[in-house]
Each structure stands twice: as C-alpha cells, then as structure tokens.
Amino acid sequence: MKASAAGCVAALSPVFALAKTEDGFFDLAAVKGQARLYGKDGGLSNLWLYNDRLPGPQIRVKRGERVRVRFTNNLEEPTSVHWHGIRIDNAMDGVAGLTQPAVAPGDSFDYDFVAPDAGTYWYHAHNMSWNQVPRGLAGALIVEDDEPTFDPDCDITLILNDWRLDENGTLETASFGAMHDFAHAGRLGNWLTINGISMPDIALKKDRWHRLRLINASTARILDLAPARFGARLIGLDGQALDTAREIEGTVQLAPAQRMDLVLRPEETGKLPFEMMTGKPFTFANFIVSETDSEDLALVLPPPNQLPEPDLSSSWELPLVMAGGAMGGMRSMMRNGVEMDMHQMMSEGLFWAFNGVAGMDGDPMFSATRGDTILLESRNDTAFPHAVHLHGHHFRVIERDGTQLEHPDWRDTFTSQPRETVKIAFVADNPGKWLIHCHMLGHAASGMMTWFEVA
C-alpha cells in the first residue's frame, strides 16, 4: 500500500442519489467511463461504471418498498446486477447463469423486488465479477428504516475500494484474471479510495450524531479498521442493526462485500484520521469536524430487522471445507463428477474447492426444504483468508474454533482465517437457487463457488 499523496485532499461530497423516473423505475445503465483514482495528479482510468458515476449512484428506498430498476447494458460484454444482502425474490438475484441469463450488450432487464429489511446493502455486477467489479461496477443500496433515525446530512455512505494502479496512477488492467492472483490472496490493490476519491476529507459536525455506512467494495482486500480511534461505535453489520451501540476494542475486519454501520458524535472540532490498521496505522481519509449550526438530535438506534431464528435443536449440519490455492497442498478435486489432478485443474484455471468440488457442479451442494435450519461448519484448509457470501439469506455466526461467540451477529458474508473453523446457522426459508461463494472474486472465479437450493 503506497502512502497517499500528501496535500492532495479532496472534500467528499455525498454519494449521488438516484431519483425515480415518472413511471417509478430507477434507471441504471452500465457504461464505459473514466475517473481519476489517484487524485488530481493522476491520469484518467478507463472504468466501467453505473450511470457514468464512481461509485454507482446510491439507490435509497424505504423498508418494504417495491424496488424497480430498469437496467441497460451499454458495455461490450454481457453483465447482470446482484443486490447484495437483500433477502430477495430468487428471480431477481441477478446471478448470470443461475437466476437469469446475462444481459447482452444493448439489452435491458427490469429488476423488480421488495426490500424486506432496513440497512446498508450494495449492488454490483454478477457476470465475470472478477473482471467487472474491480473496474467500477458497484454502488450502494440503502434501505431506510420506517422512521428516519439520523439527519440526512449526518447519514453518510462510505464505499471503500482498493484499486491496483500502475505508475501513472491509472487502473492497471494487464493483470486482470492473472492466475497468480487467483491462486493467492486475490487481486490485491495498492491504492484506497472512498467514494472514488483518494484521501478524502469527510465533513462531520461537532456535537451531532452521525451514522457512517461503510461498504467494502474491494475485490480482495480485507480492511482492518479501528472505529474506537475516531470515537465510533458499531451499530450494524452486513445491513443488520445490532440491538445496542457496541464498543469495539482494537480492530475489526471489514472483508470484501461486508458492511459496517458506525455511530459517532465528535466532541471537538478538528481533524481525526481514518486509518487502516494492517501493520502500522495508515491514514486513507480524514474526518474534519466543524462547528454545528443546527440542533442536536438524540441518538435513536435503528431497530433490528425481524429475521427467522435458526432452531439449533433440529438443525441440518453440513460441512463446508475450503481447500486449494497456493501452498494449500491440494492434490486433486472434483469437477462435474470427474476427478482432476493438480495439473489438469491448473490448466483449467481452477485452484479452489468447497468440499472437494471446484466451481459450479450441475448438482447443488444441498437441497433444503423451506424452513430447515442449516448449520454450516466451515473449515479453512487453505493458506489464505476468505470471505464467504451466501445469497438470499442472512445467517448467525455462532462459533469460531469451537468457541461460542459472545455476539452471534447476523451477517451475509463471513470471514475465515487459515485453519479456522467457523459455524454459521440460518433458516433456509427463501425458495430458489442460491450461490455460496468467496467474495474474493478471483477465488470465486477459480473454483470457490457452489450453490444450494430451497424448495
């Protein structure tokens, strides 16, 4: 990670919010566009963007609202849009090849779904995601609580993104799809932006409660953050509100695709660094606190969503063993029912497996009956961390390495360190075909992806 260019700061303006058209649709188009990722001294990067914006425009709806998005693909390759973290109608999940055919260049697709839970979600491309998301195809999807809990100007969306830039400060593209990245930690970058801006100043008001909605849209970078260092407490994870504002001692990880909602009320004017804590604290933005000009509102926490509680007394226990990758010692894996040795696997660009199977087999990993409680025991037999996402459901993370967690938080993406065992539980109550994959997108593309069915 390079140090950000000192003195080259830009104020963060609020993420552009998309307005509905007269017929009640959000118009969203994937297009080619450009942005200066390195700041004003860097070159223009060629990106793929939603509505020519970086990040994509923010879509804001009310809890329970019907969301209709008229999506047009103006790229030269097929794409689709996934609404990450929404317990969505399966047909609208946006997974090219599983829930819909990819939208061809020039074609349109209407997404039409209900957003049942309030919270911080996001949307991103879901066809060849490893090649599309890291070019800019991502945006925030915010589902508002029934009653607004924060002033709009104190409710701040921050999309964190790790880019791989070349020596001109523009997006490095030659290494897209590099097998070396796929087999190791994924496409790690060397430059962080927030809402597309390098080293931004984030304006806060003294003595006011703020809600920060953090979204990690990176393809592979796990961000170690320390909210207490700037006086913030945790109020939500992956869209789901906690029942209290939690103090975080030390650091907390925000893995690719994960979200974290924070609250803070700065007590002094001035500057507070926003740091990444991997190694030495590394500042990638600053909070600039100024005098307030309006009245303070009391802190009202968003109420938790009502999610189906897993019944551990009658759960269906299933393993999810992650294997493969560089230094993983894997000798063979199954591909469409056929055993392949390491050499064959690598020649097909497959490096990873769940339960010994690489990539999407014809058969689901499991078929649940609607209402079943699933207890997945994941074991990471690889040399790398992973961030595993389940589509269409939220789950509780209940145990790590045999220890029950004090906070069995609801999540849609869980992290797993090398050699770690993680237990998650959820009620399979959403009918359809749902992906389970690593959200390090190169890992997903090279085998770490499967699916399950709920009928």
Closer to Cu ion by Cβ: residue 234 or 422: 422
Q: C-beta of 67: minimal distance to ligand C2O in Å?
A: 17
Q: Which stretch binds Cu ion (CB under 5 A): 93-101, 152-160, 306-314, 441-449?
A: 441-449
Which of Cu ion, ligand C2O, none does residue 82 bind to, with CB < 5 to 8 Å depending on kind? ligand C2O
Query: Is residue 435 close enough to count as binding Cu ion by CB under 5 A?
Result: no
Q: C-beta of 412: minimal distance to ligand C2O in Å?
A: 8
Q: C-beta of 300: minimal distance to ligand C2O in Å?
A: 30
Q: C-beta of 255: minimal distance to ligand C2O in Å?
A: 11
Closer to Cu ion by Cβ: residue 37 or 445: 445
Q: C-beta of 85: minimal distance to ligand C2O in Å?
A: 8
Question: Which position's Cβ is nearest ligand C2O?
Answer: 84
Closer to ligand C2O by Cβ: residue 202 or 436: 436
3-state secondary structure the chain: CCCCCCCCCEECCCCCECCCCCCCCEEEEEEEEEECCCCCCCCCEEEEEECCECCEEEEEEECCCEEEEEEEECCCCCECEEEECCCCCHHHCCCECCCECCECCCCEEEEEEECCCCEEEEEEECCCHHHHHHHCCEEEEEEECCCCCCCHHHEEEEEEEEECECCCCCECCCCCCCHHHHHCCCCCCCEEEECCEECEEEEEECCCCEEEEEEECCCCCCEEECHHHHCCEEEEECCEEEEEEECCCCCEEECCCCEEEEEECCCCCEEEEEEECCCCCEEEEEEEEECCCCCCCCCCCCCCCCCCCCCHHHEEEEEEEEEECCCCCCCEEEECCEEEEHHHHHHCCCCEEECCECCCCCCCCEEECCCEEEEEEEEECCCCCEEEEECCCCEEEEEECCEECCCCCEECEEEECCCCEEEEEEEECCCEEEEEEECCHHHHHCCCEEEEEEC
Query: Is residue 141 close enough to count as binding Cu ion by CB under 5 A?
Result: no
Q: C-beta of 95: minimal distance to ligand C2O in Å?
A: 6
What is the contact surface with ligand C2O in residues (CB under 6 A)?
A: 82, 84, 124, 126, 257, 389, 391, 435, 437, 439
Query: Is residue 440 close enough to count as binding Cu ion by CB under 5 A?
Result: yes
Which of Cu ion, ligand C2O, none does residue 60 bind to, with CB < 5 to 8 Å depending on kind? none
Which of ligand C2O, Cu ion, none does residue 435 bind to, with CB < 5 to 8 Å depending on kind? ligand C2O
Q: Which stretch binds Cu ion (CB under 5 A): 37-45, 99-107, 213-221, 382-390?
A: 382-390
Query: Is residue 386 close enough to count as binding Cu ion by CB under 5 A?
Result: yes
Query: Is residue 438 close enough to count as binding Cu ion by CB under 5 A?
Result: yes
Q: Which stretch binds Cu ion (CB under 5 A): 25-33, 196-204, 342-350, 430-438?
A: 430-438
- The size of the interface with Cu ion (CB under 5 A), counted in residues, is 4
Which of ligand C2O, Cu ion, none does residue 87 bind to, with CB < 5 to 8 Å depending on kind? none
